[in-house]
Chains A and B, each alone.
Chain A
Amino acid sequence: DVKVTQSSRYLVKRTGEKVFLECVQDMDHENMFWYRQDPGLGLRLIYFSYDVKMKEKGDIPEGYSVSREKKERFSLILESASTNQTSMYLCASSSLVGTGDEKLFFGSGTQLSVL
């Protein structure tokens, strides 16, 4: 079975801390994504990556950065966590096919609380 694994299911951090959310996929996918999900706002795309060391801003990149040093791993970084970054964070991956047959595979999510 294909798998997208997020390192933590629940995380509690303090305001101002640097936070790393890790995501690993075992499908050799080119594309990887970070979303956040908040009640009433749905899923919003933060950043995505087409390839190693490549990154693209999504709809809400402010306050976040990403790192993709290896194909299978995509990290989301909160340089200085703030309370408004309390959210469910979801990682996803897909193959770069360009035919419309791509499917997103999601991890189980990390519920981050910033106190």
Chain B
Amino acid sequence: DAKTTQPPSMDCAEGRAANLPCNHSTISGNEYVYWYRQIHSQGPQYIIHGLKNNETNEMASLIITEDRKSSTLILPHATLRDTAVYYCIVDPGGGADGLTFGKGTHLIIQP
């Protein structure tokens, strides 16, 4: 059974905020939420992760609901280079024994 549910695809206009949702209703108390992205023909790239609190770094913001059953990745000012597949992953250890990648959301930034 999939641990996360993401829409298969989304569009966003260049310069606007891209908000990518993820449902993880069966998340355990010790599991973190991780986001990675994969630009075409490249390996996945770590974006951000969090446990309970909202997080922000130079790439994105992560908003986790209070019940931790869903989260949203926010790219504040999307550019064409943000077109990629975005993966939401829940895991207790960050990948010490490998992360399980689902199908992700294909985000297309429109000029």
Contacts and interface: CB of A to CB of B under 8 A. Distances in A.
Contacts of A58: 98
A1 interface: no
Contacts of A97: 94
A26 B36 CA distance: 21
Interface residues of B, number: 24
B68 to A, nearest CB: 14
Interface residues of A, number: 28
Contacts of A42: 101-104
A98 B93 contact: yes
A45 B49 CA distance: 21
Interface of B: 30, 32, 36, 41-46, 49, 51, 92-104
A33 B95 CA distance: 10
A107 B43 CA distance: 6
Nearest to B31: A100
B94 A103 contact: yes
B102 A102 contact: no
Nearest to B34: A103
Nearest to A106: B43
A51 to B, nearest CB: 12
Contacts of A4: 43
Interface string A1-22: 0001000000000000000000
B96 A102 contact: yes
Contact of A43 (B32, B44, B96): B44
B43 A102 contact: no
Interface stretch (A62-70, A72-80, A88-96): A88-96
Contacts of B96: 31, 50, 94, 96, 98, 102
Contacts of B49: 100-101, 103
B42 A104 contact: no
Contacts of B98: 33, 35, 45, 48, 58
Given A99-B94, A108-B42, 17 more contacts: A33-B98, A42-B101, A90-B43, A90-B44, A94-B94, A96-B96, A100-B32, A100-B92, A100-B93, A100-B94, A104-B36, A104-B94, A106-B43, A106-B44, A107-B43, A109-B42, A109-B43
